Chains A and B, each alone.
Chain A
């Protein structure tokens, strides 16, 4: 279990994936590559993503749960894929705003 709050950073323990919380708060069973994620920089990653959680993460993409209550931005990509509890986190549709500055 990790404690989500906007701005908090988490890392995978089995691949190079790192994320920053854009939206969401409170405890969450956040995993990457089938293993629980931990606070960024708290330990080295080691091992391999599990076969059923190896879809990979993409740099700069936003990942959300089905209800849209959690949004994580991938700040380092890796071969693992993320889940919260039993449900997979999927890439959110990119917002298409014109450049304003």
Chain B
């Protein structure tokens, strides 16, 4: 029982249907299966213990994922955008490994001990000399334990050194079996993958789409105009984006004249807080698209909760403040997932009360190679995200626990203040952090990216005071050119804290 079973089933149901690429020009499921088996032979031929992928999106990614699964080796995607020293350091942690890499990355990795680079194109180019045997020789499928490691992902390290999150075959398979209907996609459906290869969604999207029988089209790297063009050219019906991508898509569509996109049936988003102005504008620019907000973590094999299409439209058009607010929620847990909110002492909290989000289910791994399992004795995984569940069962995620500001003994999440400031017409983007204060423990600082002229501090403080409790009013407001982000758009608050902590009246 390995992830290869998903592809075997898909190839059994629709051998000739296009799995990856443009209709007629791409790889069929049968061809993807054959090439994955050949890749598995290649991966097993040396002394590699892992299969590293270090490249932009291409057909090599699904071939490497399924080939590694069939070979019984963990698949380890690396962030090719990292500087040389960091990339080499992560590669060393994956060695001994075969590394499927782009041309430039092949050169960057070849000096790393225990890494054997192979150029990505060898896995899929029709005229490339096959490295592995083309015949599917005795796949050791039954010898691979569901408890074996299928995927290792280095966490993005927004708070410290990257850790290797471990996902076993049983976790990812439970996720797919529990959330995707086999062969459920029509032959005309196609999904556009634009998240980076080293993001959990870059892995889960391939597994889900193959199992559903939905054609995959890949953008090598995200660009808003390329994304819009690909949606129209390739007849894309499904896509997943992170909030910064949607913000850029909305900007690009407005720049192009604001014509609505009608062909896209489902647009799912996740991986961070979605600013209300962005999602509201997107609902207008994609008037008949079904929006899905998915919440999940690398450690939970991707999605654990989602806000479905009908709830988006209901909330968008509702006058009821509780229903309208649900546009900012991540919806309800998947059928096979349990969610609870706990306080610092581990007590479950009732509806409406904020604490740490805990999740439980067969897809939840919650394990790192360095530190082992972080599940408690009953199988609950502490996400380190703070949030609450409303009286209707909708989950709201407020942000990372580490980002919570404690001012005068009162806990507040930066996100709630950011959401208010983002509705100010003079603010393009904002991040809120706590800085040291001897009076309050922490005081609130808002780093804003103004649209043009920077609004005055007094004006912005009044703006917040009219809409929130006075304890939420930022003491400090600073204008910046742009916010420090990692490449999936997560704000690096620790960078801001270092930069602005001197504005506090002491240091930590």
Contact = CB atoms under 8 A, between A and B. Distances in A.
A98 interface: yes
A101 B12 contact: no
Contacts, number: 82
B103 to A, nearest CB: 29
Contacts of B142: 9, 40-41
B179 A100 contact: yes
B208 A9 contact: no
B335 A95 contact: yes
A88 to B, nearest CB: 21
Contacts of A55: none
B182 A101 contact: no
A60 B183 contact: yes
Main secondary structure of the interface of A (DSSP, over half): loop
B314 to A, nearest CB: 15
Interface residues of B, number: 42
Contacts of B270: 100
Given A7-B146, A59-B12, A61-B182, A101 B170 contact: no
Contacts of B273: none
B266 A59 contact: no
B477 to A, nearest CB: 37
A101 B9 contact: no
Most buried by B among A59, A97, A101: A101
B9 to A, nearest CB: 6
Interface in A16-33: 20, 22
A60 B13 contact: yes
A97 B8 contact: no
A6 B362 contact: yes
B302 A95 contact: no
Contacts of B285: none
Given A7-B170, A95-B335, A59 B182 contact: yes
Given A40-B142, A99-B266, 9 more contacts: A6-B362, A97-B181, A97-B306, A97-B335, A98-B266, A98-B309, A99-B180, A99-B212, A100-B303
